[in-house]
Amino acid sequence: MNKLLSALPLVALLIAGSAFYLANSNNQLEAAIAISNNLSFFDWATCYTHLPQIADNCTNSDGYNTAAGRFANLTNSLSPNIIVPCKNFTNFFLNATADQAVNFNNYFTNCFFNDEVISIAKSNECFYNNYFAPIYLNCTQTALKSLFKNTKDDEGVTFSQLGACQYNITSQPQQPCQSTDAYWAAAGQFNALTYPDSANLTAACSNYYDYRGHAFGDSLINQYGYYHDCFLTQQIQDIAKSNDCFNTYYYQPIYVKCAGF
């Protein structure tokens, strides 16, 4: 199994998936997609080896090949430019057995869902839709889909549930009103306080991201009230309500309903 798995980057380059595109979604959402502790390399491989073949006009395009090259440059174990989170992942992966958890120590999410790698993945629609999203997003969420419930359990929503729900929403086509200036003005104020890289990130959100960084797919998102205090304060709700479209199609479904509030 190790040999088979270690051939992944090459094998995976030859395979494909169907089309869905997280256009204009904020990287934070994808980073929030937590992978269940129970997803093993075997489960993951079972999914990605059954993806459909990518069309020639996609794999032969310059855009696809440029994106694939840049992606491999940062993530492939054979690349001299591999980034530290991916080095950690490949060190683990090359020696892992099929029954081990894909996202052990969050190595997988830290490697493939950091902003640098996601921005390369998104730099070409064909690469994203047919390669990156099916393998790294869809196939790692497979185990979650069956678990997903839109209502919270007694204890609350887990990162896996939140991720599956947010992903389901952000992979749908956007509303026309989601490209207006008024929408982006509200989104900008929201992101300024809640986006992990923001200079004006609130202390509550900073606590939330610190917690999330060490959490597992099965951990509760609102442990210690961190999620609530980051995303559901009066100030944040007022910002969301300042634009109906932002509130209705983005904030309420993704940050309130998915989180079980």
Ligand X SMILES: *[C@@H]1O[C@H](CO)[C@@H](O)[C@H](O)[C@H]1NC(C)=O
- Name the residues that contact ligand X, by CB under 6 A: 17-18, 20, 38, 47, 55, 57-58, 61, 69-70, 73, 81, 84, 87-88, 95, 105, 126, 134, 138, 142, 145, 147-148, 165, 168, 192, 199-200
Return the ∠ at Cα 235 (arms to 119 and 194), rounded to 5°. Answer: 20
3-class SS string, 182-222: HHHHHHHHHHHHHCCCCCCCCHHHHHHHHHHHHCCCCCECC
Q: Which of 128, 132, 160, 130 is nearest to 144 (CA)?
A: 160
Could you tell me the smallest distance in angstroms from the CB atom of residue 161 to ligand X?
Answer: 10
> Which is nearer to ligand X, 128 or 226 (by Cβ)?
128
Q: How far is the CB of 160 from ligand X (least distance, A)?
A: 8
Return the structure tokens found at 144. 């979650």
Q: Which is nearer to ligand X, 63 or 225 (CB)?
A: 63
Report the alpha-carbon distance of residue 42 to residue 2 in Å, rounded: 11
3-class SS letters over 240-259: HHCCHHHHHHHHHHHHHHCC
Find the shortest distance in angstroms from Cβ 106 to ligand X.
Answer: 8
Query: Between residues 18 and 179, which has the closer beta carbon with respect to ligand X?
Result: 18
Min separation Cβ 49 and ligand X, Å: 10
- Shortest Å, Cβ 75 to ligand X: 11
In the complex with ligand X, the residue whose CB is nearer, 184 or 225, is: 184
Spatial separation of the C-alpha atoms in residues 148 and 115, rounded to whole Å: 26
Nearer to ligand X, 52 or 225 (CB): 52
